Amino acid sequence: MAILYNRILLTGAAGNLGKELRPFLRERCNKLRLSSRRPIDLEGDNEELAVLDLADFEKVLEATKDVDAIVHMGGTSKEDTWNNVLQGNIVGMYNLFEASRQNKVKRIIWGSSVHAIGYHKRTDVLEPDCVTKPDSLYGVSKVFGEGLAQYYFDKFKVESVSIRIGSSFPKVADWRMLSTWLSFDDLRHLVERSLIVPKVDHTIIFGCSNNDQSFWDNSKVGYMGYKPRDNAEDQRPYLEENVKKPPHDDTAITYQGGSFVVAGHFEDK
Amino acid sequence: MAILYNRILLTGAAGNLGKELRPFLRERCNKLRLSSRRPIDLEGDNEELAVLDLADFEKVLEATKDVDAIVHMGGTSKEDTWNNVLQGNIVGMYNLFEASRQNKVKRIIWGSSVHAIGYHKRTDVLEPDCVTKPDSLYGVSKVFGEGLAQYYFDKFKVESVSIRIGSSFPKVADWRMLSTWLSFDDLRHLVERSLIVPKVDHTIIFGCSNNDQSFWDNSKVGYMGYKPRDNAEDQRPYLEENVKKPPHDDTAITYQGGSFVVAGHFEDK
Amino acid sequence: MAILYNRILLTGAAGNLGKELRPFLRERCNKLRLSSRRPIDLEGDNEELAVLDLADFEKVLEATKDVDAIVHMGGTSKEDTWNNVLQGNIVGMYNLFEASRQNKVKRIIWGSSVHAIGYHKRTDVLEPDCVTKPDSLYGVSKVFGEGLAQYYFDKFKVESVSIRIGSSFPKVADWRMLSTWLSFDDLRHLVERSLIVPKVDHTIIFGCSNNDQSFWDNSKVGYMGYKPRDNAEDQRPYLEENVKKPPHDDTAITYQGGSFVVAGHFEDK
Amino acid sequence: MAILYNRILLTGAAGNLGKELRPFLRERCNKLRLSSRRPIDLEGDNEELAVLDLADFEKVLEATKDVDAIVHMGGTSKEDTWNNVLQGNIVGMYNLFEASRQNKVKRIIWGSSVHAIGYHKRTDVLEPDCVTKPDSLYGVSKVFGEGLAQYYFDKFKVESVSIRIGSSFPKVADWRMLSTWLSFDDLRHLVERSLIVPKVDHTIIFGCSNNDQSFWDNSKVGYMGYKPRDNAEDQRPYLEENVKKPPHDDTAITYQGGSFVVAGHFEDK
Amino acid sequence: MAILYNRILLTGAAGNLGKELRPFLRERCNKLRLSSRRPIDLEGDNEELAVLDLADFEKVLEATKDVDAIVHMGGTSKEDTWNNVLQGNIVGMYNLFEASRQNKVKRIIWGSSVHAIGYHKRTDVLEPDCVTKPDSLYGVSKVFGEGLAQYYFDKFKVESVSIRIGSSFPKVADWRMLSTWLSFDDLRHLVERSLIVPKVDHTIIFGCSNNDQSFWDNSKVGYMGYKPRDNAEDQRPYLEENVKKPPHDDTAITYQGGSFVVAGHFEDK
Amino acid sequence: MAILYNRILLTGAAGNLGKELRPFLRERCNKLRLSSRRPIDLEGDNEELAVLDLADFEKVLEATKDVDAIVHMGGTSKEDTWNNVLQGNIVGMYNLFEASRQNKVKRIIWGSSVHAIGYHKRTDVLEPDCVTKPDSLYGVSKVFGEGLAQYYFDKFKVESVSIRIGSSFPKVADWRMLSTWLSFDDLRHLVERSLIVPKVDHTIIFGCSNNDQSFWDNSKVGYMGYKPRDNAEDQRPYLEENVKKPPHDDTAITYQGGSFVVAGHFEDK
């Protein structure tokens, strides 16, 4: 396995996706720094720990010192109160990019989301440069993040890849995931491509597997060399047996964001 | 095999494509109603018959009662006199959609045609939302049908899929079919996808196999999950041995509609 | 005033738009043939009459003899029963184009309609090659007509201009017309341009005045030289004083087709 | 002068643009509520005051009570520290839209900025749905604001217009403004159109005068009826005499954002 | 009149367009150098002469010394033998750009031609970035020239404007010019804009007046500020009286290049 | 193996690509004529020789007599002095096409180059109808060649395929070739498709293998049936071991043309 960068920082290392990426990244760098809000056990010789809240700039600045590339899976990963979205995904993103600029980090790969474009209809096949249509405050924070990433590349040459993650779970768990599923293997492959490609500037790419029923088209970012191998369709039999099909006039079916679209405002709950 | 709809109506059940789809559809519904202008023998327990002329609204209204989805392969399938085109493909289409509205049929899959866009050059790769350029009165009736289908979805939420069928035959029979061939297996697969996908609104999709030499691009309707497996190119040796190659300056080669383009007006014959 | 064609046929000569075009056309040809379902009085030396129903092919064939160009304003001009739409706008259109082919008429200018694209939202600025989205059976008949016109040009070189007329009335009569109004002067100007331009092939052009608030963009057919001079906005004060503003959440405001969009099926009335 | 809304809230009423809009808005509503961080004198019978910091949600909620439309010119109007941008333009925008949702405000017109797209080259003519390329943290906050506005329309039907203001000053003050100038008269006209048009959903529109040398194309939002009348080119003689021309290889000339593009990070100063 | 550059070189100074531009350019620089294959009389104090053949690199190198901008109207101006096209428009263009690079000329404005895109149909409205379709060897040499100009900007930052001149004559002389005419006033205005705009990189722009019947759309290069004022349509009466209208099926009418399209190969004559 | 044409002329037969294509073409015609500047030994019964310099028209005219199709791999294959580019690639191309016209050659397949579009960024995925941006005089000569090919098809119906060859070498030799590599097998396949497809008009197609990391998209010329099978990515391990990775800020990485972009002017060396 080739070493791609000397030191990689993985944020959200204790989260679902962080856990999937951790052993994989460990093999592609000399030192993997893990950041998390709570302490976690180190597993390998080349791991090191940075306990921090992304909203704390000084801590982030320290954690990005001597880092060559960042895989950022931290922050809030679903709709939340405005304040949590603000601190985790807006202030946190700023802190990460600004600290990277100061510490001369070369490249940041981070998890944007389908929810940045969730109000597009599922019958509209999207390309990465489509107009954003967030379906939640969480989604708006991803629009902010993509804008910030573009800015830090244009002005400061901090390269980045915004992966609009669909649904990254061990298995296809509901009918919508036939379109949006991103297997963990394909996630790892996409992160590897994002690290390995010689130039990415700021690239937005859809993160889904090679699903028959996908409504995303990555051909305009073909230079990324992302070739997913899994296909949610293979798990249709599981759904047929175990998961109730939503009715055809369910609003969640009309839009790409699914249930986020029909959810009321978080604080209304 | 999953049951997709309780009752499906198959029109043109005695036609070439109807015959190919019939056993296949029988396995995907509880009751398959067959419509035809002449009586046909029933083959399975779950078949039922509706003898009718599509131009007769009352009969169509009756035949669509308690139907959940329609696979419409009836009507005139090639250039004909204006009157036959009018009755079979214009009046017939109206009757089918209007009866479906009244009977609350959920979805209609029907055979539109390459001849709705036959005057595009073969060197112009088309996407489904291209400008229509019919090559015959038959083709004009398909333009009408696609417009009608769009209307019934926009106003009445009757969903539909307009399949622009290229050349659906058992084998590649002439040189043009290297581009336009739709194998029966791929036709069945496409009809299944049209029935199974959660939302189709009104979708136009090109109906051809995975032919190397295709001039159609379905990527904008990728959400349909249509993944054809056959390839006309595999039958090139048969053509080389058995079918005379047309000269390069043959008009039929210039346009996607082939011989329909060069044919004079039907009634001139 | 230059003579543009020797003999022009004006259909629908007794209709609202026919009456506006009649004296104007009289000055641009040596002989103006008027067609109408009922007899009308001739007004000038160079007028001649053809009483006919467009659904009667033999009569149409006769009426198009020795004709050089046609301005076709006949047929049904709003939503109607299916049968009336079928006879007036589908059979009638076929008869007119087929007779023109047989009689070697050079060019046909005819009234298509906003209702061929009425289900587009008013916030979507359209170009003439947009996808059709009819809002009524009437609108579907216009989609048929545009397809037919394209076909007769591609195969038989009968040139034509499909004018998608917005709202052609003496004055701006409701709030939607701030976008869709086509003054009679601009209608005449557009018909003149359609007759005078050296090549039109089959051209689709939006028929509206130079309204500030227009949702149509004719720049792709700039070669037509259509430069409307009137502006519906000038009549806003009249509306403010005399016409109740519809509420912002009125469906008719959302779509370009206005009330046609919200109207139920004609036969449901 | 027609009354457009019963009560309009003008934020940033004491700022440069707020002052220009104030008397104009006073004539278009029954009650103009002015918000400002510091008290200001009321000038007319139909004015009322709301002193507040936009970052204070409770105050904003109170200030938007019984309001029908908002013209939001408050917040930070140029590059600033991250914290000022965050509080004024991110937290402030959220507070305004969330309060408007709760108080059922119908429409919000607000000042987005050229700096949301400032890293596009001046030789690239942009349309409003172009990819964003902010040139500053200020610009990133505008990207956030446009995303938020889209979200509040899509989910809650709060309509809004994001005006990407170029350079709104009394006179053309530097060479770049030959492209980006927005005269106060045209600003007022654009705000009026934004209030008056029946449907705007969420519309992004470029805010510049009818400048010969513009690099923006509003034709896709032609339904807004914005017809600017001033032309920066008329003030070229003033520039020739009074303002030094920048050299052709000045970076600020290459990009639409001008000096914002070349400015270092605010906090580096 | 503002001085735009210290020294401007005008090539083809004795040609039809050169003569129109000469007094105009004289007022916009301190020294106007005229180049021509034959000696011409100097008319003003600030004129100087360079007699040369563009195919002679050493002479071109000398003539571009101390030059700030070039207006290049030299070379072959219509279809010719391959050898004349090669020497005048291919070798000549190379010499001019290469000499400009060596002498650090800042900007070159030159006459490309409609004949670089003459095989587009007149019913296809073109934008400057359209695919080239030359109608003659002359047209092919213009495609070469535009490619060369792009190269010299991308690699060496020599800015240039390729003006695709339609038909620049004192008056509208035939029916096609209703679309392609470029009045001398508008030519001068376009050259001035090309000199005055702060950044042009390499810009391709269509050179025609504000003709009603134009088939060109310069909106993507709106930053050039080219606002033509003349309109060929005003001269229609002259054509009506003096020039025979070509028949509708004349090939020259079908394509933008007019008679160049129907002309046989030059050397076949 | 089917005979595709009676006599094929292969130019540049002694060059790297000519040698790869020679035995392959020998099996697809009755007579393979080889042209080269120096004599070469004939290898098969159906080979014949034409020694010539492409800049010599009379020799080219003779060599194209009785030829049905040409595979043109001759001329200068990399940046060179202007004079060599001029003679080999500009005069040579003209001679070949003009002689083909006179001798009624049906189709010409020739090697255009990535260097015709080398100044596009590697993060911009290109389609064949993209704007040209040559990176060298060599690249400019390819722009000329593509324009010439278009012209000879439009006016004289000489069909041609311009293959924009990336990097056709036995193995992936540097990091950029992960994107641009064209294996010899895929080159042969592409030439075969170019010969075999019924209509090509003038087609531009990118010549690269099925590389994961490609920045080219041939979907608009899907009718060519080009389905490359090799993938440069398979050779990444070789690169990792043997070839130094260029730094991320290397200019050659930014642009598709690679080192051609950073190379100074040839004659400056």
- pLDDT tens for the 269 residues of chain B, in order: 689 999 999 999 999 999 999 999 999 999 999 999 999 999 988 999 999 999 999 999 999 999 999 999 999 999 999 999 999 999 999 999 999 999 999 999 999 999 999 999 999 999 999 999 999 999 999 999 999 999 999 999 999 999 999 999 999 999 999 999 999 999 999 999 999 999 999 999 999 999 999 999 999 999 999 999 999 999 999 999 999 998 877 888 899 999 999 887 777 76
Residue-wise pLDDT for C197-242, tens only, equals 999 999 999 999 999 999 999 999 999 999 999 999 999 999 999 9
- pLDDT recorded at residue C269: 61
- pLDDT recorded at residue C261: 92
E91:F94 CB<8 A: no
* Higher per-residue pLDDT: C87 or B253: C87
Name the average pLDDT for chain A: 96
Is residue B204 within 8 angstroms of chain C, CB to CB?
no
Residue-wise pLDDT for E40-98, tens only, equals 999 988 999 999 999 999 999 999 999 999 999 999 999 999 999 999 999 999 999 99
Where residue E269 falls among pLDDT bands split at 50, 70, 90?
low
Q: Digits of tens for pLDDT over chain F (269 positions)?
A: 689 999 999 999 999 999 999 999 999 999 999 999 999 999 988 999 999 999 999 999 999 999 999 999 999 999 999 999 999 999 999 999 999 999 999 999 999 999 999 999 999 999 999 999 999 999 999 999 999 999 999 999 999 999 999 999 999 999 999 999 999 999 999 999 999 999 999 999 999 999 999 999 999 999 999 999 999 999 999 999 999 998 877 888 899 999 999 887 777 76
Is 90 exceeded by the pLDDT of residue D268? no
CB contacts, 8 Å: A258 with chain D: none
Is residue E106 within 8 angstroms of chain D, CB to CB?
yes
For every residue of F37-88, DSSP letters joined together read SS-----STTEEEEE--TT-HHHHHHHTTT-SEEEE--S--S---HHHHIII
D224:C213 CB<8 A: yes
Whether residue B238 lies in the annotated active site: no
Among B94, B132, B151, whose Cβ lies nearest the Cβ of C150?
Answer: B132
Are the CB atoms for F170 and F184 separated by under 8 Å?
A: yes
CB contacts, 8 Å: D135 with chain A: 151, 154-155
- pLDDT recorded at residue E96: 98
Is residue A217 within 8 angstroms of chain B, CB to CB?
yes
What are the φ/ψ torsions at residue D256 (nearest 5 degrees)?
A: -65, -25
- pLDDT recorded at residue E253: 86
Sign, CA dihedral E250-E253-E255-E258, equals positive
Are the CB atoms for F142 and F232 separated by under 8 Å?
A: no
- pLDDT recorded at residue F91: 98
F102: which 2 tokens? Answer: 């006179």
Are the CB atoms for E154 and F133 separated by under 8 Å?
A: yes
- pLDDT recorded at residue F165: 98
Q: Beta-carbon neighbour count of residue C16 at 10 Å?
A: 13
Residues 51-70 of E with CB under 8 A from F: none
Q: What are the residue numbers of the active site of A? A: 138
Is 80 exceeded by the pLDDT of residue A266? no
For every residue of E108-170, DSSP letters joined together read EEEEEEGGGSTTSBTTS-B-TTSPP--SSHHHHHHHHHHHHHHHHHHHH--EEEEEEE-B--S
- pLDDT recorded at residue A79: 94
What subunits make at least 3 CB pairs under 8 angstroms with F? A, B, E
Is residue C201 within 8 angstroms of chain E, CB to CB?
yes
Is residue A234 within 8 angstroms of chain B, CB to CB?
no
E213:C225 CB<8 A: yes
What are the φ/ψ torsions at residue E132 (nearest 5 degrees)?
A: -80, 145
Maximal CA-CA distance, chain D: 54
Is 90 exceeded by the pLDDT of residue D262? no
CA closest to C157 among chain E residues: E249
C217:D221 CB<8 A: no
- pLDDT recorded at residue C190: 98
- pLDDT recorded at residue C143: 98
Phi/psi region, residue B36 (left: phi>0; alpha: psi -120 to 50; beta: rest), is beta
Is 80 exceeded by the pLDDT of residue D42? yes
CB contacts, 8 Å: D248 with chain E: 106, 159, 198-199
Catalytic residue among C5, C94, C138, C226: C138
Among F90, F131, F137, whose Cβ lies nearest the Cβ of E129?
Answer: F131
pTM passes above 0.80: yes
What subunits make at least 3 CB pairs under 8 angstroms with E? C, D, F
A113: which 2 tokens? Answer: 């989301």
What subunits make at least 3 CB pairs under 8 angstroms with C? B, D, E
* Higher per-residue pLDDT: C44 or F155: F155
B225:A213 CB<8 A: yes
B150:C129 CB<8 A: no
CB contacts, 8 Å: F213 with chain A: 197, 223-225
- pLDDT recorded at residue E1: 65
Sequence-ordered strand ranges (E) for A15-134: 29-36, 47-51, 69-72, 107-113
- Could you tell me which of E184, E149, E180, E169 has the C-alpha nearest to residue E70? E149
- Could you tell me which of F16, F18, F15 has the C-alpha nearest to residue F26? F18
- pLDDT recorded at residue A33: 98
Helix (H, G, I), strand (E, B) or coil at C165: strand
Is residue E104 within 8 angstroms of chain D, CB to CB?
no
Is 70 exceeded by the pLDDT of residue D269? no
F147:E151 CB<8 A: no
Is 70 exceeded by the pLDDT of residue C70? yes
* Higher per-residue pLDDT: A206 or F267: A206
Residue-wise pLDDT for A91-141, tens only, equals 999 999 999 999 999 999 999 999 999 999 999 999 999 999 999 999 999
User: Number of residue pairs across B and F with CB atoms under 8 Å?
Assistant: 48
Cα F152 to the chain's mean position, in Å?
A: 18
d(CA B186, CA B194): 12
Tokens 């967030």 sit on residue: A134
Where residue D1 falls among pLDDT bands split at 50, 70, 90?
low
Integer angstrom CA distances of residue D80 from B126, D76, D135, E112? 49, 7, 12, 47
- pLDDT recorded at residue F269: 61
| Portion of chain C with pLDDT greater than 90, in percent | 91
Where residue D48 falls among pLDDT bands split at 50, 70, 90?
very high
First to last CA, chain C: 48
Averaged pLDDT, D133-154: 98
| Portion of chain E with pLDDT greater than 70, in percent | 99
E177: which 2 tokens? Answer: 């010019």
Inspect the structure and tell me whether chains B and E have 3 or more CB pairs less than 8 Å apart.
no
Residue-wise pLDDT for E199-252, tens only, equals 999 999 999 999 999 999 999 999 999 999 999 999 999 999 999 998 877 888
Tokens 């390309």 sit on residue: A127
- pLDDT recorded at residue B30: 97
Among D82, D132, D136, whose Cβ lies nearest the Cβ of A94?
Answer: D82
Which of A140, A157, A221, A254 is the best substitution to test chain D (most D C-beta atoms within 10 A)? Answer: A140
Averaged pLDDT, C30-42: 96
CB contacts, 8 Å: B95 with chain C: none
- pLDDT recorded at residue F1: 65
F253:A199 CB<8 A: yes
F150:E134 CB<8 A: yes
Where residue A1 falls among pLDDT bands split at 50, 70, 90?
low
